[in-house]
Chain A
Amino acid sequence: MTDEPATSEPPLEVVAEPARPAPPAEAADIPLLRIEAVVKQFGGFRAVDRLSLDIRAGEFFALLGPSGCGKTTLLRMLAGFETPDEGRILLDGWDIAPLLPHERPVNMMFQNYALFPHLSVRDNIAFGLKRAGMPAADIRTRVAEMIALVKLEGLEKRKPDQLSGGQKQRVALARALARRPRILLLDEPLAALDKKLRESTQAELMALQRRLGTTFIIVTHDQDEAMTMADRIGVMDRGRLEQVATPRQLYEAPASRWIAEFVGDINLFEGEVASREAGRLVIATRDAGSIVVAAPLQPINKDVVAVAIRPEKVKLSRRGPASDDADHAHAINRLEGVVTDVGYLGGLTTYKVKLDSGAELRSSMANTARIDIDAYSPTHRVVAWFTPDDCLVLEQ
């Protein structure tokens, strides 16, 4: 299904990249796109700061970050609308940084779609093909193919202002894909859609990407969107990549405290390493007493650390885990407190528990039963517990 001719193998594999984790085994071949120590400054402000990244052919990659983190600037450099001040952007080993947008085998889907208002849906999609000098008969076939691909049959003659938001989004997608780009860049492609449509469009984009095999690079500030769609996520902050990982790694093993707090909800307790046993660390925290955590793979060098627990890993009960509970033996960490806040979200319920130390602990539990006699209300006294494996140790 892929139309990536994985042929030309540029001899550029030896470039050392210090700030990146070792690539997974399947990425041993040369990446489709290699971003090398790219810098972009606006005035004195470094929008992108010595950023390096490899993207494999056929990958669905998400650039995630708060607004102003430089992710859009990076995308615009890939499209050719900005030129890097330093560094190289290698596509199949060729430096494309000096090329103008129209000379790159890369297409972009714009955040506001940027459909040409004076052209019909068909002419919008055919625009890039005409520029490429494709014969008229081939253009007709390709446009029909693209229209079928994004399910816009019957709307070919409409002008963009006669389309709904979702339809515009599809036209923009079809137009960007029509030239069969090596890489499709998507700048916040779903930001303008309402929630329901966004979810169904996410699924469609993923299916489409799998079917075409085209490499997708998406920029988003919406972590759910990135987590749902991407094979790998690059989290950016202040022009740098903080972590590049799969959605699961990013969530369960964030590289830093900043990422742990940026991606999803998390409870953080600061403390010092009190003792080190085989496979276990005991952290003496200020707010939650001693917490036993599983020793991380990388040795902890600092003494002052933070223990991080995701809310859904924290279980609540009135008396702690029942003795016949399978978790009982592992549920070494117990904290007592009073429920202060309950948020019912349908699928799950979130609780805020004020610990006896005064600190706040968040917990979320799936509502697996329709009638839950164990639901807690504010002022209920509860025991919150979690296992050492549920905890992360983060050096600042």
Chain B
Amino acid sequence: MTARPRSRMSRFNVSALVLGLAFLYLPIAILVIYSFNASKLVTVWGGWSLRWYAEFFNDRAMLDAAWMSLRVAAVSASLATLLGTLAATALSRGERFKGRTLFSGMLYAPLVMPEVITGLSLLLLFVALNAERGFWTVTIAHTTLTMCFVTVVVQARLGKLDRSLEEAAMDLGCDPLRAFVSVTLPLILPSIVAGWMLAFTLSLDDVVIASFTTGPGSATLPIRIYSEVRLGVRPQINAICTLVLGLITVVIVAASFATKLTSARGEGAAPL
């Protein structure tokens, strides 16, 4: 055993790895491959084609839904990032205020709250307020869903950031707000960006909360896809899903780069 090079894996390890990856990614791979299918039937291969992509870009309703989804994701992610960063700052930098533990508990509750409950309660709220359901209700709902994720990401970074950096800034002539803007903010910016992207993707693929809080004529892309699939899967759906998959991959990779940048800066921030 010891003579074996460490890098070589046993047959068992290789097969376990292959099976595991296949279990995770085979369905997605099939979806991506079939999105390039020329055949009209979803399960029959008819050669390579971009026809379903073209069809998607001519499908007005589907494009509207996609546009709606992107707008909701962008706006709710921005709101969630703003609120989440403020909450994280309050939690890690603010004076110990009364009810701080309760505040942080309530902030993190949506992380574990079943989406159905969040969605239903928001629906009840909007109905009670007599709010017209549509873009803004979905956006607000997604903001409440994703804010806690941003808070987690930003607070982790703030916790690791050396407090004396802010003190040094104040010592060198900054009032507390200026110290935050000119020193803390640039240092936590990568995690804020990562938080935004996380919120964006969460909003983009949410069905449950969106289906509770959206109104007629303002369906998001996942809802649209879901309702289409109930009538039978069209190859066009595969194309759309592949596009969404690509977008999310790009965002996730960018987010992980942003996080990596954060930790690279973090080394300089905490030398001891």
Contacts and interface: CB of A to CB of B under 8 A. Distances in A.
A102 B167 CA distance: 10
A161 B267 contact: yes
A114 interface: yes
Contacts of A80: 170-171
B186 A128 contact: no
Q: Looking at chain A, what size class is its interface with the partner chain?
A: 20 to 34
Contact of A118 (B164, B167, B265, B267): B265
A179 B169 CA distance: 13
Contacts of A131: 172-174, 178
A168 interface: yes
B187 interface: yes
B170 A100 contact: yes
Given A112-B271, A113-B271, A118 B186 contact: yes
Interface in A49-106: 79-81, 100-102
Contacts, number: 81
B183 A116 contact: yes
B128 interface: no
B168 A114 contact: yes
Interface in A160-189: 160-161, 165, 168, 175-176, 179
B260 to A, nearest CB: 15
B228 interface: no
A109 to B, nearest CB: 9
A192 interface: yes
A114 B167 contact: yes
B269 A132 contact: no
Contacts of A176: 171
B265 A110 contact: no
Contacts of A220: none
The B interface is mostly helix, strand or loop, or mixed, namely: helix
Contacts of B169: 116, 127
A131 B269 CA distance: 21
B262 to A, nearest CB: 11
B254 to A, nearest CB: 20
A127 B176 CA distance: 15
Contacts of A115: 168, 268
B168 A116 contact: yes
A108 interface: yes
Given A100-B170, A160-B268, A114 B175 contact: no
A111 B167 CA distance: 12
B167 A81 contact: yes
B272 to A, nearest CB: 4
A197 to B, nearest CB: 15
Query: In the complex, which of the residues B162, B167, B172 has the most CB atoms of chain A within 10 Å of its own CB atom?
Result: B172
Query: In the complex, which of the residues B168, B183, B266 has the most CB atoms of chain A within 10 Å of its own CB atom?
Result: B168
B271 A101 contact: no
A108 B166 CA distance: 13
Query: In the complex, which of the residues A100, A112, A117, A132 has the most CB atoms of chain B within 10 Å of its own CB atom?
Result: A117
B165 A116 contact: yes
Contacts of A165: 271
Contacts of A107: 171-172
A118 B188 CA distance: 11
Contacts of B268: 115, 117-118, 159-161
A115 B187 CA distance: 12
23 contacts: A79-B167, A81-B167, A100-B175, A102-B175, A108-B171, A110-B164, A110-B168, A111-B164, A111-B272, A112-B162, A112-B271, A114-B167, A115-B168, A115-B268, A117-B266, A117-B268, A118-B186, A118-B268, A127-B172, A128-B171, A175-B172, A176-B171, A179-B172
- Shortest beta-carbon contacts, A-B, top 10: A117-B268, A131-B173, A128-B172, A161-B268, A114-B168, A114-B164, A101-B170, A112-B272, A117-B269, A102-B173
Given A81-B170, A117-B266, A131-B173, 18 more contacts: A100-B170, A100-B175, A102-B170, A107-B172, A108-B167, A108-B168, A110-B164, A111-B272, A114-B162, A115-B268, A117-B265, A117-B269, A118-B186, A132-B173, A161-B268, A168-B271, A179-B172, A192-B271
